[in-house]
Amino acid sequence: MIKYLGRDENGIRKVVLNLFLTGDKFTTGEVYDYLDKGNFEVSYRGVSAMVGLMNTRLGILSINVTGDHNVYSLKETYKNIVGSVLENY
C-alpha cells in the first residue's frame, strides 16, 4: 500500500482511501462524484480502474455485485492498517 500511495502524484488515491475509511459503501459513480466535487480532474473510467485495482491488487475492498452497480467497501480487517498507513504517510 505504501508503494501504491508513493505513485500517487496528485493525492487522489489517499483521498479515496480516506473516503472508504468512513465505513460507508460506495459505487464507482459515488466515488467519481466525490472526487469531481473535490476539484480532481478525473474520468469515470479512471475512477473505475482505480477502485477496481484497489479491490484486485491490494485486496482491501469488498465488493457487492448483486445490484445494478458494484458496491465497494473497505474490509473491516483492513481499517486499522489503512488508517495507520494514511496517518503516517
Query: What is the secondary structure of 39-72 as a DSSP string?
Result: T----HHHHHHHHHHIIIII--EEEE-SSSS-EE
Q: Are 27 and 64 in contact (CB under 8 A)?
A: no
Structure-block grid coordinates of residue 55: 479491490
1-75: CATH number: 1.10.10.10
pLDDT in tens, 49-79: 999 999 999 999 999 987 788 999 999 999 9
- The mean predicted confidence, pLDDT, of the chain is 93
Give the pLDDT of residue 68.
Answer: 85
Distances (CA, A) of 13 to 3, 65, 67: 12, 23, 26
Give the pLDDT of residue 53.
Answer: 92
Sequence spans of domains, the chain: 1-75
pTM of the model: 0.90
